[in-house]
Amino acid sequence: MAKKKVVHISKTSLAGAPIRIVQALNKYTNYEARLVNFMPTELSNGEYVFDEDLNWQDKNSRNEAIKLIKDADIIHLHHFMDLEFYNPFLINFKKETKSGCKFLRHYHTDKEYIAKNDLDFNKLYPNDNVPSIVIPHYPERTFLDYPIVPNIIPIRDKDYMPINNNNDKIKVAFSVSNKNSYKNERWATKGYPEVSAALRDLSDKMNFEYIEISDMPLKNALQIKQHADIIVGDIVTGSYHLTELEGLSLGKPTLTYLDQRSVMTFINTFCTKDIPFVNVNLNNLECALSDIIQNAELRKSIGEFSRVWMEEYYDDKILINVFVDIYENLLCGKEIIRSGMDNYKNVKEFLYNRIYDYNWLSKKASN
């Protein structure tokens, strides 16, 4: 049986999320997947931060990408863009694809952020009927109709495997994606000014080595995390990111803050009774860090538990089948919608989204 062909289309690297889905599809399924990235994330020396496939800015890659798009069974879009006129690729996807090609939108960002930064979204989204999916992090609460699909982590690749550390001094690593304050941004932040200042102060007080991870290839970042003792993620917004999943896979105590909505979604999405993260915020960071740093046995056990949880609930070989099921339904013409949604969409949007925004605004005003 011939493999079905899926072409993933992305404007940016999205922290390596699209390429890891593509790699897992090719490794574990009967789908042939490729990624076309309009603008891959590069360092000043031209090195890619994440694994890449086809770079639209390269003429040869672009020519190959156009051939793949013409032959695709599914076009999997990782950013919102118009299929005909308003997209950076300047392609009319509806005309360039073969008859019967299916389209799928994949949201990695919350609706409010997209609406604020993309006028085409505001104009086109209300009448958009392209089947859509969303990641289980904070964007899901703004796209409640769409099925949740996991971010993929290749937990058995050597870069994602735990190693034995015997550091003379405890190492605490904080992965920095931008320098935004949590007071200025709702979601596009890890509260760098506040969190980094707190960690620097605590490093002197508790005698640990504080390491910031930024502006480097993912492979290098993972190596630093492998050799760290504790990983700090997003402890300000109420959601988690790919870096926290990497920390769990590497068998590290991983600090992040999940609000009640994120806890609910996490448990329901992964059918688990346990939350493997060290669920703390900026206010109780010191207490949690103190316990973990002072108690070597606790630190080791949390790390082991983190890795065991990932192997049981976050195996990419199994999770990739969520995408396979979505694709099969798409190709068969079945409706793609989150199960359990009903006539109370406005109520749920208020309960699962707005209430948490109000909590954030209240905290922001009090500081």
* pLDDT tens digits for range 239-296: 999 999 999 999 999 999 999 999 999 999 999 999 999 999 999 999 999 999 999 9
Does residue 54 contact residue 35 with C-beta atoms inside 8 Å?
Answer: yes
60's enclosing H/E stretch is helix 59-71
DSSP label of 238: B
pLDDT given at position 72? 98
pLDDT given at position 362? 83
For 206, what's the count of Cα atoms within 13 Å in the CB-facing half-sphere?
23
pLDDT given at position 95? 96
Average pLDDT over residues 26-43: 97
CA distance 332 to 227: 47
Asked whether the predicted pLDDT for residue 301 surpasses 80, the reply is yes
Note the pLDDT tens digit of each residue in 165-215. Answer: 889 999 999 999 889 998 888 998 999 999 999 999 999 999 999 999 999
Q: For the chain, give the mean pLDDT.
A: 94
For 198, what's the count of Cα atoms within 13 Å in the CB-facing half-sphere?
18
pLDDT given at position 50? 95
Note the pLDDT tens digit of each residue in 12-31. Answer: 999 999 999 999 999 999 99
For residue 271, how many other CB atoms are within 10 A of its CB? Answer: 7
Q: Which residue has tokens 């399924």?
A: 29
Asked whether the predicted pLDDT for residue 228 surpasses 70, the reply is yes
pLDDT given at position 252? 98
| Residue-range domains of the chain with CATH | 4-152+325-331 (3.40.50), 158-314 (3.40.50.2000)
pLDDT given at position 367? 67
Asked whether the predicted pLDDT for residue 313 surpasses 70, the reply is yes
Asked whether the predicted pLDDT for residue 340 surpasses 70, the reply is no
pLDDT given at position 341? 60
pLDDT given at position 185? 86
pLDDT given at position 279? 98
The share of the chain scoring above pLDDT 90, in percent, equals 86
